[in-house]
Chain A
Amino acid sequence: MVDEDRDAVEKTVQGNREAFDVLVEKYYKKIYNLAYRFVGDREEANDLAQEIFTAAYKNLKKFRGDAKFSTWLFQIASNRGKNKFKYLKRRGHFANRWQSEEDDERDPLRSGIPDLSTNPETLLAGKQIQRIVQKAIDDLDPDHKEIVVLRDIEGFSYEEIARILNLPEGTTKSRLHRARMVVKEKLKKALS
């Protein structure tokens, strides 16, 4: 397995802090986006993404190199994301956020089933749709959420997800299917 990040990893482990900056620059947009999908809030997402990179930096010596650095990094991201999501949920973060937005929501799409024959990009570009989808993700349980984020939002392959989550590929697929079905029902309910 070729890991193009190996050089930067080795230099960082040898004490070159700047070498780690290369890795941060390469992955921070993806990690931030993943963090945002876990917590649904820019400020919390920034905290979480910073926390993920800090954890990776501190634990880099434990990285054995038998997987790609990106797999290892997303493993950390996924674990931290799930934990942060659970923590925020316990504190009522999501309930409060959506409640305040629902109060002023006047969604034209709620008037009926969206016309799925129209261009999906046009339909999905609506701000309200984005919100509804994010809310549906927020309502997922952590295991479903992480798999939806990794596959459907971040675009990892089943093989990569199986490696990140340390699951058999078959389990990954069936779990993703169940998660999608849950989101589908939420969307159906919200948009019909």
Chain B
Amino acid sequence: MNDCQRMSDLFGALHDEQLEGEIAESVRQHLSNCAECRDDFKWYGFTVHALAGLEKVSPPRDFLAQFRARVDAAQPVPFFESFRNILTLIPHIPLPVGVTALALMTVVGLSLYNYGPMYAVQTAASGYSSPKSETGPSAKGIVPLMARSHENTSASGMSPGAAYPFRAMPAAQDRIGTNMLTVESPSIDQAVESLKKILPDIQGKVLEEQNRQIGGTLLTVVIPLQAYGNLTTELVNHGAVAVGPRKDNSSSTVDPGAMRLHIHFVRSR
């Protein structure tokens, strides 16, 4: 390392007046004899001055207000507030549309939760009208469906719900919660007959049959409580509609382990 290089390394200390004694003296001596180093040291001093002399830049007047707003925005948002924010996130979507979309998503989510993904896929693939199409002009009441279900149950020893691979079907009482169902069928007689045929297999029996001129046939059956789930689930899955609990006016009583189920058969349109 030559003298000039060594001197240059000491510029900082020299400028900050941190050199003392012999070293300081030798540097000053070198600078007085070396024009190049002298010029370089001038530039070094100019650089330090230039850096220190940079104008102070003023922040915006509302800096503090901006900061407060920023901190407030970063505060945790209460649940209901965040819920409102989600719905108004996209300004082009009016709030009612957002609410509707959210409601729809909730329904789909609950369906997935209750029936499992396979059921949702099946439902989506066949559409909501599929149960009705089974009982459409080409179908013969609910006979084939009930028979198939019955065969499956007998052959495999599984409940109908267990046929779904991802999730056991929930108890029908939980899903349906009613003792009154309406079944649409192109042939009420055949549908009634097919139900009557499977009743003995589940230790059920017909309690009352009312033929109505306009309103189809109302069948009141008594079935064991444990059969309620399978039977009503099967009926609902093939198009029966749960229409709410019906008050039993009948004076006849049923066994403690049985229940009365009202099935209203109507002609499909």
| Contacting residue for A184 out of B44, B63, B70, B71, CB 8 A | B44
Known contacts A177-B12, A180-B44, A180-B47: does B54 contact A21 (CB below 8 Å)? no
Interface size range on A against B: 35 or more
Those of A141-192 within 8 Å (CB) of chain B: 148, 152-153, 155, 173, 176-177, 180-181, 183-184, 187-188
| A152 contact set on B, CB distance < 8 A | 48, 51-52
Interface 0/1 of B40-72, CB less than 8 Å to A: 101111111111111111111001101110110
A75 within 8 A of partner (CB): no
With the chains together, A155 CA to B44 CA distance in Å? 17
Closest to A49 in B: B59
Known contacts A54-B70, A120-B46, A176-B12: does B63 contact A28 (CB below 8 Å)? yes
B54 touches A29 (CB 8 A): no
Chain B at the A interface: mostly helix, strand, loop or mixed? Answer: helix
A187 touches B12 (CB 8 A): no
A70 within 8 A of partner (CB): no
| A181 contact set on B, CB distance < 8 A | 8, 11, 44
| A42 contact set on B, CB distance < 8 A | 57
Known contacts A180-B44, A181-B8, A184-B43: does B64 contact A28 (CB below 8 Å)? yes
| Contacting residue for A54 out of B13, B50, B60, B74, CB 8 A | B74
How many residues does chain B have at the interface if contact means C-beta atoms less than 8 Å apart? 33
Known contacts A33-B57, A155-B52: does B12 contact A180 (CB below 8 Å)? yes
A57 within 8 A of partner (CB): yes
Those of A91-109 within 8 Å (CB) of chain B: none
Known contacts A54-B71, A180-B12, A181-B8: does B56 contact A29 (CB below 8 Å)? yes
With the chains together, A28 CA to B65 CA distance in Å? 12
With the chains together, A134 CA to B56 CA distance in Å? 12
A21 touches B68 (CB 8 A): yes
A121 touches B63 (CB 8 A): no
Q: How far is the CB of A186 from chain B (nearest CB, A)?
A: 9
B9 within 8 A of partner (CB): yes
Q: Please, could you name 19 A-B residue pairs with CB atoms under 8 Å apart, sorted by A?
A: A17-B71, A20-B71, A24-B64, A28-B67, A32-B58, A32-B59, A37-B54, A50-B70, A54-B70, A57-B71, A116-B42, A116-B43, A124-B53, A130-B54, A152-B52, A173-B13, A180-B47, A181-B44, A187-B47
- Which 6 A-B pairs give the minimum distances between C-beta atoms? A152-B51, A32-B59, A177-B12, A124-B53, A184-B47, A36-B57
